[in-house]
Homo-oligomer: A and B are copies of this chain.
Amino acid sequence: MIKKIQIDDIVLLLSPDNKTFMVNIKEGKSFSSHLGMLDLTQAIGKSWGETIQSNLGNEFILMEPTVEDKLMKVRRLTQIVYPKDAALIIFKTGIRSGMKVIETGVGSGALTIALANSVAPEGKIYSYEKREEFIKNAADNIRYAGLIDYVEFFNRDARDGFDQTDVDVAIIDLPSPWYGIPSAYESLRGGGRIASISPTYNQVERSVQCMEDTGFVNIETLELILRNYQVKQGKTRPRDRMVGHTGFLTFARKAIAS
């Protein structure tokens, strides 16, 4: 049985010119686009992949948002962690359903959405953030993405330590990653993995030194560069513009002194 779209569902609308809009379906609600007004009531009872029409006769396709869509549509107070980086962090740290993960700081909650999506329904993200306004905005974003049940917030500086022990993974996204690395070591189980995200090489150099001093091993630093392509018959090429840099990623595992 394929699920039909219902009231309160979040839908990604795909326009004829390949733009996407994330909307919450409500009885009688409408959405105003560059291609006309859409009565969202039309969506109720439709299947994913079907279309609704704007008052100007343009067809919009009803798409189920992926975790990438949810991450990209957050309200941003900060630079966000991009899908390419979120995906590799989750993969390389081995995050999966049921795990306990510490994250600091929360930023705009974009990475938190990806992490929560991966640990649901049995796992939990413990998110430490010292700026209360960031927690408030991130919580709104995560709630809208339908993942708030898998996230617990702590309004605290990473230097003051984390309440959890034996967590599987710790993610450090701080201007001073070395504030969070020793606390992460304390909270991780043996063999637990850490990932750190930083835009500058100075942060990376000091983070790696801190990880070595703290007892982490198998330390690896890398960067992902994403290239988009224009694919058209006879005119296929890399696109003109690209994001030049998001951040360096550093990964390691916790060893236990014998």
What is the interface of chain A, defined by CB distance below 8 A to chain B?
2, 14, 18, 20, 47-51, 59, 61-64, 66-68, 83-84, 86-88, 90-94, 96-97, 114, 117-118, 120, 166, 189-193, 199-202, 204-205, 208-209, 217-229, 231-245, 248, 250, 253-256, 258
Q: Are A222 and B217 in contact (CB under 8 A)?
A: no
| A-B CB contact pairs (8 Å), 21 listed | A47-B190, A48-B191, A50-B190, A61-B253, A67-B91, A67-B96, A83-B92, A84-B88, A86-B91, A87-B90, A200-B236, A202-B234, A208-B231, A221-B229, A222-B226, A223-B229, A225-B225, A225-B226, A228-B244, A240-B244, A241-B244
Q: How many copies does the complex hold?
A: 4
Chain B residues contacting A205 (CB-CB under 8 Å) are 201-202, 231-233, 236
Q: How far is the CA of A171 from the CA of B72 in the complex (A)?
A: 23
Q: Are A66 and B244 in contact (CB under 8 A)?
A: no
Chain B residues contacting A236 (CB-CB under 8 Å) are 200-202, 204-205
Choose from B202, B204, B218, B234 the contact partner of A14 (Cβ within 8 Å).
Answer: B218
Q: Are B166 and A2 in contact (CB under 8 A)?
A: yes
Q: Output the least CB separation between A157 and chain B (Å).
A: 21
Q: Are A227 and B244 in contact (CB under 8 A)?
A: yes
Q: How far is the CA of A91 from the CA of B68 in the complex (A)?
A: 7
Chain B residues contacting A62 (CB-CB under 8 Å) are 191
Q: How far is the CA of A96 from the CA of B121 in the complex (A)?
A: 11
Q: How far is the CA of A120 from the CA of B122 in the complex (A)?
A: 13
Q: Are B86 and A256 in contact (CB under 8 A)?
A: no
